[in-house]
Structure 1
Amino acid sequence: MSKTNTVIRGRAMAVSAAALLAGAALAQESTDPIKLTLHDWTGQLITTQLMGDILQEAGYNVEYVQADYLAQFAGLETGDLHVAMEMWETTGRDAMDAATATGKVENFGPTGMKAKEEWWYPTYMKEKCPGLPNWEALKDEACAEAFSTAETAPKGRYLGGPVTWGGFDDERVEALDLPFEVIHAGTDAALFAELESAYQRQAPIMLWIYAPHWAPAKYEGEWVEFPEYTAECYTDPAWGLNPDMAYDCGKPFGEIWKVGWAGVKDKWPGAYAAIQAFTIDNAEMGAMITDVDLNGKTVEAVADEWMAANEGRWKGWIGQ
């Protein structure tokens, strides 16, 4: 089925799904909108737009709903929200596990992308803190002061992501007794605007960088190497270097998952199969994020280009 100009993104489709369905099986499914959640970073907006476009091509009604990354699980459990296309192993595993344990939320499988999120610094800062990337170098007062600003001196400044992203950076600083103050960026855009500004001036900066993203490719730098993550580090204070506190380790690395309301498979079985089949890799996503954040393209335009270039692939996901 070819894409039409009548598709209106960002709201529920007004066209009856039954009129667009490619097969008799889909005609038996609900015409209610499938609600996909939108968060506050470019990659997730792209992933969600792609999934929405694919479902619309299959004849489903789609609605995009702005939602908090972690708090969205309340809506997914009740069925008020239906699909979240990116739940990162690095920051969302606990919330996802708690939700799936209720039986009301289901893990729809990996997206194919691998997540890495950690403290990151430009290579030029190693002159002032030569013990890096070993995290213990950050305990040195001179090193911490090299990363300080007027608002944090003599403590170092760590620019974390928006508070809604989680990540336990404040807890990590306390557990590892780091002479740093955590300052949270208000938005994803603000986080990377500050990196751009600091890098151009060769100014001190330590911040949350994640992949897949364009920043680790554009800028020369390294991630801090903290004690290796284990599940016990987050749940058992007795584990690790600090016997009295949890989070005395780095962040986990791993999959980026698709999750959603457990009722999707019964209400929209064809959509459920397509969501499970959806897969994309870090290289593809990194290129699309670059097109949006650096080259000025819209999320919708980037999604259109991907859909046109991968028609045979996504049509297989919807059984066409």
Structure 2
Amino acid sequence: MPIRREIYTRPPDLCKASPGDIDVSMEIWYNLSRDVIDQLESEGKIQRIGVNFPDAVQGWFVPTYVIKGDEKRGIKPMAPDLKSVFDLPKYKDLFRDPEEPSKGRFYNGVLGWFAEKVNTKKLKAYGLDKYYTNFRPGTSDALVAAIASAYERGRPILFYYWGPTWVLGKYDLTMLEEPPYDPEVWNALIEEENPTRACAFPLETVYIAVNTRLIKEAPSVVEFLKKYRTSNELTSKLLAYMQDNRASEEETARYFLRNYQDVWTKWVPAEVAERVKKAL
């Protein structure tokens, strides 16, 4: 069965393609395009058949050395009592914004992102806008560059990020505690202009979906995809491997097959697993 791989950069691309241009999508971020996915499913054009990873995360992070230090790098703890977003006011000087030294700097997402809007409301709801500037990098690459630069130099930085990503796979980071996700609080946070309460981002379940015709045309492929399952941690580690080694998708796939046999052998029949092992 010939396979063509396509990369879609945002949900609408996938949704336009779903009626017939593609057979499988390995990442359906349902909450980012709920209405369109629901419509395609109700029309019988696509079907979610499994979960790629159940624990995609979003939150506010600091390098772990900020809290615990790093003896190997000669870094002493800078904020040993920093655990939650409510501890941040007393550490504003640690994260000082060079352009507004009376406040700390919070690195938000890129202007216009859904998460950026949520974080902007969180800053106000948590009362942190009095202590921190809401710094929004121009691009995601600029955000990554700021994180990487601070980390490599052992400097403090407070930022929003998400996973799975190579950033979470490569760097030792700690996500700050927030009030637990609460649907009522979350909905108010999204809908109200000036919410007074906030909570953690919900964990995102990222699905695998297929064009419904594939269920009849390639049932063995569908059965394989139903068993396929990764995690935020595993995917982030593999993305970090790609980043560090400048590895291609194929090279990373081979690395995964060699080093994570306890994972993928559960997805296929024993005889298939043996053939793959021999081919490696």
Shift of 1:182: 3.8
SS in 2 for 1:65: coil
Matched, 1:97 2:34: yes
Matched, 1:222 2:170: no
Determine the C-alpha separation between the residues in 2 that align with 1:221 and 1:291: 17
Determine the C-alpha separation between the residues in 2 that align with 1:283 and 1:226: 20
SS in 1 for 2:136: strand
Matched, 1:86 2:32: no
One-letter amino acid of the structure 2 residue matched with residue 98 of structure 1: D
Match of 2:122 in 1: 172
Match of 1:279 in 2: 229
Match of 1:199 in 2: 151
- Determine what percentage of the aligned residue pairs are the same residue: 19
Give the TM-score normalised by structure 1. 0.62
One-letter amino acid of the structure 2 residue matched with residue 226 of structure 1: E
Determine the C-alpha separation between the residues in 2 that align with 1:261 and 1:155: 51
SS in 2 for 1:169: helix
Cα RMSD (Å)? 3.9
Residue 215 to residue 95, structure 1, CA distance change in 2 (3 Å)? closer
Is this contact kept in 2: 1:212–1:285, CA < 8 A? yes
Match of 1:64 in 2: 6
Determine the C-alpha separation between the residues in 1 that align with 2:35 and 2:124: 25
Determine the C-alpha separation between the residues in 2 that align with 1:74 and 1:257: 14
Determine the C-alpha separation between the residues in 2 that align with 1:249 and 1:276: 32
Count of residues paired in the alignment: 252
Match for residue 158 of structure 1 among 106, 124, 131: 106
Higher normalized helix content (fraction of residues) = 2
Determine the C-alpha separation between the residues in 1 that align with 2:196 and 2:186: 5
Determine the C-alpha separation between the residues in 1 that align with 2:168 and 2:176: 13
Match for residue 296 of structure 1 among 246, 261, 267: 246
Residue 81 to residue 185, structure 1, CA distance change in 2 (3 Å)? farther
Counting only pairs closer than 5 Å after superposition, residues 225-264 of structure 1 correspond to structure 2 as 225-236=177-188, 245=195, 248-253=198-203, 255-261=205-211, 264=214
1:132-157, Cα deviation, whole Å (9 max, x unpaired): 2221122x2x5334323334544432
Is this contact kept in 2: 1:112–1:256, CA < 8 A? yes
Shift of 1:222: 1.9
Structure 1: tracts of 5 or more residues without a match = 1-58
Is this contact kept in 2: 1:162–1:184, CA < 8 A? yes
Determine the C-alpha separation between the residues in 2 that align with 1:285 and 1:124: 23
One-letter amino acid of the structure 1 residue matched with residue 148 of structure 2: E
Q: For structure 1, which segment, 143-152 or 113-122, has the greater mean C-alpha deviation from structure 2 after superposition? A: 143-152
Match of 2:71 in 1: none
